[in-house]
Structure 1
Amino acid sequence: MRVVQPIRYGPRFVVPRQQALRRNFGTTVRLQSYADTLPNLRIGAHTRVMFQGFTGKQATANAKDSIAWGTNIVGGVRPGRTGEHFGLPVLPTVQSAMKELKPDATAIYVAAHQAPGAIEEAIEAEVPLIVAVAEHIPLHDMLRIHSILKTQSKSRLVGPNSPGIISAVGKCRIGFQPLPCFSPGKIGIIAKSGTLSYETVASTTRAGLGQSLCIGVGGDIVPGTDLREALTVLENDSDTEAIALIGEIGGLGELDAAEWIRDYHSRTQSPKPIVGLIAGIHEPRGRIMGHAGAFTIAGEPDAKEKIEALVSVGVTMVTHPGQFGEAFKARLGGSTHGVNSLAGRGKLGNQRRQIHTAVRRPQTRTRFLAKPCTQQRRHLTLSEDDCMDLLREAGLNCGHYSGLGTRRFLAIGVDRSTRSPCILAAPTVDDDQIEKMVKRYPFDYRHGPDELAIERVASHLHISLKESAHESLRRLVHRLSDIFYEKEAYLMETEIVERLGEIKVVGARFGFDDAAYRSCGRQTELQKLRNTAVEDASELEAEKSGIIYIKLEGNGTIGTLVNGAGLAMNTVDALGGHATNFLDTGGKATSETVKHGFEVILKDPRVRVIFVNIFGGLTLGDMIANGIIMAFKELSPRVPVVVRIRGTNEKEGQKLIEESGLPLYAFDDFEAAKAKAIELSSA
């Protein structure tokens, strides 16, 4: 087996496979229990908060608002500098800040390429709660950080790609949540999506219920805190009387949460009511839906199965976050009458999933081998020929399938529940069988696949007992994992056959983490293999403007423009087959992104109406309204535009739309706006 070369991660080298990370984390290395850090999530008025990157533009704006709201910010860190900011101490290192400021939590406000180092510094200093809000932190940096977190019991991570955590009761904000939406109350909120959580906050505020503790687990592939862990915290939070659970496609977290809820109900006499929402029902197969982790691979459930699992354990499901308020009023009042619930769509029964047990899904193929998927902002997927070339360079036996031998599925990917790499294997590649037969075998990121795991893979694949076949499989697994590390892949799928005691690769599809290149400038040679000629021209144009646009198949007639990936997925779901596209302007829409979004949408001849769905959290409603009016006047679209604006300055934005004199239809209610868009699209 060839020696893996070190990968440069920022200012230091890290050997990812053969050599464990050799940093000294004080006494925490010996305790070995990351679960012990869950109580650190219980923030409130007592919480002392510091900032890393304290004097930066974003941290300064955030700290100003948070201090005015009541958050107990005690100072921050700027590497190599000392002084004051807002009259609070600025220190040169996290270690010195821990000694002098004694914070309970740190908010990391640095760029994605700096964030891994900042997180590691906070872990080494044993900061109890670390909140990382940055998007586009490379996946392998986060896998390395999780391998560190598992060796200690002092620091808990929230994020990345998360709005953070906030206590409305304790006036403690660690993140960038829109403060005008929040009010102290009784609803705890757990969410993968920032915009969907803001909508939920607004809905529960309007219902007079308010919020207690809101944990944004974020949309990353391997978040620091997952849905199940957040549920554990809210179960024991005395301010929380009911829980909102907001999930989406990608991973097994919602099924883990369902199993936790089943156990919670069995051991609790009066469990707290739980209302849920899952985004991504109309996910186009093989695509990444805005968030880094919003995609499904072999063995992972789709949105409908996640809904069924939650319904089966007594969760009331809603179809839009604006429905949470009324749903909670009904549940807290002891009734579900009038609630828009998804109950009755199906049951998970008493199925219990172990670490190597696959999740049975509908017979639809989602593996990347099934259909080449075009480029996304976050991920790079290579052609099969390029994948085969990488395997040949690694000295592996590969070629076309001759028709002889049983084809089997073998992959290296990520187990999101264990936050580690894993081997995925199934003894078939048949569409109707692979999803229920695939098993996953997690391994330590620092050491690579172990021999016991490989032997279990061989048994599951029904590899013959010949020593040559086992040695050939062993070599293949190690070579795949070498490429996984060296090229920073997130999924490496192969189809293999056993012939004459040897394993041969007859099909391959690899996906690589684009953030390693975009955020850190790594993997430049790999990026040269990107073939834009096979990608959709509209999607490429949107990418240049920082917009994520996915053209949907079918006979839809409504173009969608939404701020935030979760809300964009939910908007497509609510419109059903009427949507022509998924379009996420990003969490902070601007007049320029609205204009570019219109330009891309209008190139689709199917579009008869544009539906703009903006929740003004960080974005002001009147600013977006002005952007829409300016874009309409400049582009003169041939179709009507329905605009739904909620959140910050929503009344001002709606008034601007109504008084513009243009064929724009302004709404604050989502259902009314949706109905109008469908009506206009059918006219």
Structure 2
Amino acid sequence: MPRIHPLPAPARLSLLQQPRHRFSTTCRRYNYADTLPNLKIGAHTRVLFQGFTGRQATANVQESLAWGTKIVGGVKPGVEGEHLGLPVFPSVRVAHEKAKPDASAIYVPGNQTAKAIEEAIEAEIPLVVAVAEHVPIHDILRIHSMLKSQSKTRLVGANCPGIISAVGRCRIGFQPLPCFSPGTIGIVAKSGTLSYETVASTTRAGLGQSLCISMGGDVLAGTNFVDGLRIFEEDPDTEGIILVGEIGGTAEMDAAEWIADYRRRTANPKPIMALVGGLHAPPGRVMGHAGAWTAPGEPDAKVKYEALERAGAVMVNHPEKFGQGMKTLLGSRGRGWGATTINGASQRRGLHTVRRVVPGRTAKAQTRSLYVKPFQALDMLRERSIPVNETATSDTDFFLSLTVDRTALSPCILASASAGFEPAQTGRFPFAYEGTGLSSAHPVVEAVASHLQLPAAARESVAGLLQGLWQIFTEKEAYLLEVRANATETFEVRGARFGFDDAAFRSSGRQQEVQRLRNPAEEVAEEVEAEKDGIVYVRLEGEGSIGTLVNGAGLAMNTVDALTIHGGHCANFLDTGGKATSETIKSSFRIITSDRRVKAIFVNIFGGLTRCDMIAEGIILAFRDLAMSVPVVVRLRGTNEESGQRMIAESGLPLEAFDSFEAAAKRVIELAGRD
């Protein structure tokens, strides 16, 4: 082991050893954690809408009012008046003065979301819920910098369905209301569709829900699993807790640590169940959600699953098992609920068939992210007068990465003196987003140089490299900048891998120059075609004989996981996006059937805002228009599910409708296995 200079303890710990309170270069008077109680919404909560008069907000307000949510009005910048019988305010500050809201629901596009959040923070609105996706990651970095400097406003989201109190009939978001019923189960989830499945399962079991909190699928979440768990621990309405995680970040590991501590210090702990999506997600890919990718040094889904299980959470492999499973746990509370069987023979059953995948270091350009070619990354460094020699290599090379720390909610530097990002030898150094850059005098630069044990002559060069990386990171809105360099004789960079967040381009039209570096002709043709229709498609390698068509990234990941656990072989991951329309379904069928490996198709749709009968009609029309011959198994759940299932069954087409996931999975595996 190399000698480590005496640095502040958190700065020199390995990635696997570091506590949640890690290296920081700033001292703050305010504590964002003080805003945690603001999550406890209910019948008392006065809700404001930003983007009030828009089409989606209008429909949402009407539904929420009818359900019982106390909405006090909304904001339309520079306009005063009335909408839906409620006041329209010209600014958030005026709304706060006149209506005294406890929470604000932000219904504006992704390119306007950060500004709307900022206005709510400045007005000291206690709870802000941002539902939009494609919010540029650097916009959110700036928002988190603001949130850390205050103790009045709590953020939920972005890119999430929101937060809802079934007991208090308060909805701040776009959750499908027919699935919810007042009850005793607290739910905190990354995935919207998986949370709806979880809600439906607990409703069917007669348990209902107390409070449901969405982390959202973005890289940087305003509220995380531990925040939700802390609320549920103290909430008298909550008797059981469910956590729904997925690949990306370390929030599930933090949750596992909290659960283990909770079970140690509590005589009769509330039962906790969990699921982790993405056990079979290919490494290096963004799986629908902007945050559903695993960065260097982060645990994969299997590691998260095992950590939660060791901590005492009862694991399931599909959300429809949550309802009856929690019912069993609540019935045995106080009699060692942690050992209760849920999945069948053992709660570990879901992992026995998991294929261990060795993480790769390559990734193709895809929606939600863009990896430029290595020579393009090196050109960016040359433009900043950083020495480059891509032909050289040495065992003394070191690695640096400027990326985003999902726990610290800030930029961070990963530094490794080894020939790769090996967790045991890699230091993590978060630092504040707002500042003047990374000069040689910056504390994080000093910490990185000491961790790498660089000679004094090389420190100024490494400081110049970090400053150049910081310029690229901020000016071009990157989320991952990796370099391999050497400083034993003359300093030079020998390799680079740069990833850029394309939400800035998709929602705001920024970073067109970076986007032009992409060459779709070099990508998987089906994935490029799917992207044109707003579909996220990932071709899975192997003998895949089952095509999957799912709405929602988390549900799509879990569908692949669950089918694989049942013995199936999936050909693809496919997320139709927020709504499964007849056009997106037709495009999805066309893309799936272009893969000659596919012998049967599994359609797994949760009808939330889009009703199941409308989805069934879309499936039938698409099937007929494409003259398909591949057998299709359809599982429809959610709003008007019985009508949708009946329409499929009576269509006269080779479509088979199911209610149960288990039955549907067995059938599609059977059909795919036929010659």
Equivalent residue, structure 2, for 1:613: 604
DSSP-derived class of the 1:491 partner: strand
Q: Which amino acid aligns with 1:477?
A: L
Greater mean alpha carbon deviation, residues 503-512 or residues 125-134: 503-512
DSSP-derived class of the 2:491 partner: strand
Q: Which amino acid aligns with 2:233?
A: E
Match of 2:475 among 486, 498, 501: 486
Cα deviation, residue 468, structure 1? 1.7
| C-alpha distance in 2 between matches for 1:80 and 1:261 | 47
What do the CA deviations read for 1:381-435 (whole angstroms, capped 9, x no partner)? 10001001001001101122424451222110000001000001122235xx724
Equivalent residue, structure 1, for 2:342: 339
User: Retained in 1: the 8 A contact 2:314–2:340?
Assistant: no
Cα deviation, residue 543, structure 1? 0.4
Q: Does 1:381 align with 2:371?
A: yes
- Give TM-score, length-normalised by structure 2: 0.92
| C-alpha distance in 1 between matches for 2:303 and 2:512 | 38
Q: Does 1:593 align with 2:584?
A: yes
Q: Structure 2 vs 1, CA of residues 522 and 83 (structure 1 numbering), >3 Å: closer, same or farther?
A: same
Cα deviation, residue 337, structure 1? 4.6
Equivalent residue, structure 1, for 2:210: 212
Q: Structure 2 vs 1, CA of residues 672 and 481 (structure 1 numbering), >3 Å: closer, same or farther?
A: same
User: Retained in 1: the 8 A contact 2:205–2:323?
Assistant: yes
Match of 1:55 among 42, 53, 56: 53
Match of 2:36 among 32, 35, 38: 38
Q: Which amino acid aligns with 1:594?
A: I
Cα deviation, residue 505, structure 1? 1.1
User: Retained in 2: the 8 A contact 1:31–1:153?
Assistant: no
- 5 Å matches for 1:92-241? 92-241=90-239
| C-alpha distance in 2 between matches for 1:165 and 1:54 | 18
Cα deviation, residue 462, structure 1? 3.5
DSSP-derived class of the 1:223 partner: coil
| C-alpha distance in 2 between matches for 1:404 and 1:212 | 58
Cα deviation, residue 346, structure 1? 12
Equivalent residue, structure 1, for 2:450: 459
What do the CA deviations read for 1:344-389 (whole angstroms, capped 9, x no partner)? 5899xxxxxxxxxxxxxx88334xxx22x22222111100010010
| C-alpha distance in 1 between matches for 2:350 and 2:45 | 43
Q: Which amino acid aligns with 2:619?
A: I
Match of 2:557 among 565, 569, 572: 569
Unaligned runs of 5+ in 2: 1-24
Q: Which amino acid aligns with 1:326?
A: Q
| C-alpha distance in 1 between matches for 2:340 and 2:383 | 63
Q: Does 1:526 align with 2:514?
A: yes
Equivalent residue, structure 2, for 1:304: 302
User: Retained in 2: the 8 A contact 1:308–1:346?
Assistant: no
Greater mean alpha carbon deviation, residues 88-97 or residues 329-338: 329-338
| C-alpha distance in 2 between matches for 1:321 and 1:404 | 49
Q: Which amino acid aligns with 2:499?
A: G
What do the CA deviations read for 1:251-297 (whole angstroms, capped 9, x no partner)? 01000111111221222111111000000001111100000000001
Identity of counterpart residues, as a percentage? 60
| C-alpha distance in 1 between matches for 2:617 and 2:299 | 41
| C-alpha distance in 1 between matches for 2:579 and 2:350 | 37
Q: Does 1:423 align with 2:387?
A: no
- 5 Å matches for 1:401-440? 401-430=391-420, 434-440=422-428
Equivalent residue, structure 2, for 1:351: none
Equivalent residue, structure 2, for 1:498: 487
| C-alpha distance in 1 between matches for 2:576 and 2:359 | 29
What do the CA deviations read for 1:31-85 (whole angstroms, capped 9, x no partner)? 5111100000000000000101111100000000000000000111111111111
| C-alpha distance in 2 between matches for 1:346 and 1:196 | 17
| C-alpha distance in 1 between matches for 2:326 and 2:514 | 49
| C-alpha distance in 2 between matches for 1:346 and 1:505 | 44
- 5 Å matches for 1:295-374? 295-334=293-332, 335=337, 337-340=340-343, 343=347, 364-366=358-360, 370-371=361-362, 373-374=363-364
What do the CA deviations read for 1:505-545 (whole angstroms, capped 9, x no partner)? 11111000101011111111111111112101110100000
Cα deviation, residue 455, structure 1? 2.6
| C-alpha distance in 2 between matches for 1:642 and 1:539 | 23
Cα deviation, residue 637, structure 1? 1.7
Equivalent residue, structure 1, for 2:275: 277
Unaligned runs of 5+ in 1: 1-19, 21-28, 348-361
- Give TM-score, length-normalised by structure 1: 0.90
DSSP-derived class of the 2:255 partner: helix
Match of 1:397 among 387, 390, 393: 387
Cα deviation, residue 663, structure 1? 0.6
What do the CA deviations read for 1:189-208 (whole angstroms, capped 9, x no partner)? 00000000000000000000
Q: Does 1:560 align with 2:548?
A: yes
DSSP-derived class of the 1:186 partner: strand
What do the CA deviations read for 1:472-526 (whole angstroms, capped 9, x no partner)? 11111111111101100000011112231x3311111100010101111111111
| C-alpha distance in 2 between matches for 1:585 and 1:130 | 28
Equivalent residue, structure 1, for 2:527: 539
Instruction: Figure out how many residues of one structure are paired with residues of the other and give that number.
Output: 633
Cα deviation, residue 343, structure 1? 4.5
| C-alpha distance in 2 between matches for 1:662 and 1:583 | 23
| C-alpha distance in 2 between matches for 1:257 and 1:155 | 23
RMSD: 1.7
What do the CA deviations read for 1:82-104 (whole angstroms, capped 9, x no partner)? 11112111110000000000000
